[in-house]
C-alpha cells in the first residue's frame, strides 16, 4: 500500500462518494461495512479503480488481484486512515462487524 497523502484521501473520497458511501471516512468515526463496500465496488465496476488509488498498482494490475489480496489492501487502507484520523478530536475508529470472508 502506498503512503496516504491528501491526494490519495481525496481520490478515495471522490470514488466512495460516487458510490454513496463516503460517510465511511467523513463521519465522527471511521466505520466500514465490508459487505456493502465490496458489493458497491463490484456492482459499479470500481474495485480496480479503488485499488489503484490506494496502492501503487495500475487499474490493470489491480484487476488481476485475487479477492483475498483486494480485501487485504482495502483493510490496510481503512485501518491506516482510521489510525491517522483518530488523532483528531472527536474521531474514533469503528471497524465493521461483518466478516468479509463470509457471504
Mean per-residue pLDDT pooled into runs of 10, the chain (103 residues)? 85 90 68 81 90 94 92 87 69 48 44
Please, which residues have CB within 8 angstroms of residue 7's CB and are 6 or more apart in sequence? Answer: none
What pLDDT is recorded for position 88?
Answer: 62
- All structural domains of the chain with their residue ranges: 6-91
In whole angstroms, give the CA distance from residue 32 to residue 37.
7
CA angle, residues 20, 21, 24, in degrees to nearest 5: 160
What pLDDT is recorded for position 44?
Answer: 86
In Å, how far are 4, 8, 70, 81, 103 from 92, measured between CA atoms? 18, 20, 24, 11, 27
Neighbouring CB atoms inside 10 A of 80's CB total 16
Amino acid at each position: 500500500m502506498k503512503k496516504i497523502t491528501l491526494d490519495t484521501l481525496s481520490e478515495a473520497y471522490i470514488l466512495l462518494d460516487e458510490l454513496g458511501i463516503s460517510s465511511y471516512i467523513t463521519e465522527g468515526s471511521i466505520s466500514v461495512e465490508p459487505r456493502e463496500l465490496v458489493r458497491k465496488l463490484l456492482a459499479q465496476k470500481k474495485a480496480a479503480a479503488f485499488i489503484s488509488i490506494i496502492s501503487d498498482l495500475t487499474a490493470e494490475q489491480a484487476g488481476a488481484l485475487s479477492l483475498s489480496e483486494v480485501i487485504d489492501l482495502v483493510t490496510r487502507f481503512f485501518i491506516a486512515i482510521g489510525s491517522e484520523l483518530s488523532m483528531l478530536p472527536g474521531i474514533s475508529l469503528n471497524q465493521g462487524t461483518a466478516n468479509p470472508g463470509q457471504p
